[in-house]
Homo-oligomer: A and B are copies of this chain.
Amino acid sequence: MTDGGVRAAERLQEDRVLLGRTSTAERVAAILRQRITEGLFEPGTRLSEESIGAALGVSRNTLREAFRLLSHEGLLVHELNRGVFVRRLTADDVVDLYRLRRLIECAAIREGGRPSGETLAALRGAVNDAERAAAERRWEDVGTANMLFHQAIVELAGSSRLDEMMRQVLAELRLSFLAMKNPRAFHEPYLWRNRDILKLVEAGDTPGAERLLADYLSDAERQLVQAHS
């Protein structure tokens, strides 16, 4: 094989993740995740193996695997011999989740070196997506884009495990967003604040970005805690 061929083959290795086929259980989990986060299944409701399995056309065994995936994400809670339920978050849960967000996101900004081109693109893309969604009055999508922005913030640290932890925190947090009756009033203001944070990150002003981020998180926590009590 030529040198060029070797180099091309090496580059292809990066595409292996794109090639990742998904099992039926994972696809089922993705569907349920979507339905839960959009509020079709309210927190506390039980997800019957039989009815959902029949509705989706998958076997009980496969559905159970999907349930287990979502339980590990924190979206469902599994009670032995009783089934799985959509998680119901308490105010304490929200406090705990925001404690983790502060810890994870601030550490990522503080200890993350120069942002790679890839994450920088992700940050800008998330802000742009949020603005576009806001312009079209799709407030749920604004929330999603905002969350992707913060996921990208964590990527600054360059730790795959930290990324995974953040993913989990945000997945749970989505449940708490369901409690906000006015999505626009809740999500829209953070759009501007994210853009401000992005500017400081781009300028290399780490302490400033961390300060803005901390304020952001405190405000969001306050709103959500109030909605959960």
Contacts and interface: CB of A to CB of B under 8 A. Distances in A.
B21 A96 contact: no
A160 B97 CA distance: 10
Interface residues of A, number: 25
Interface string A59-91: 001001100110010000000100000000000
A160 B96 contact: yes
Interface string A84-104: 000000000000110110011
Total copies of this chain within the assembly: 2
Interface string A148-167: 00000000010111100100
Contacts of A162: 99-100, 103
Interface string A4-44: 00000000000000001111000000000000000000000
Interface of A: 20-23, 61, 64-65, 68-69, 72, 80, 96-97, 99-100, 103-104, 107, 157, 159-162, 165, 169
Contact of A20 (B80, B100, B169): B80
B23 A80 contact: yes
Q: Which 5 A-B pairs have the closest CB atoms?
A: A72-B72, A96-B159, A103-B107, A96-B161, A61-B61
A99 B68 contact: no
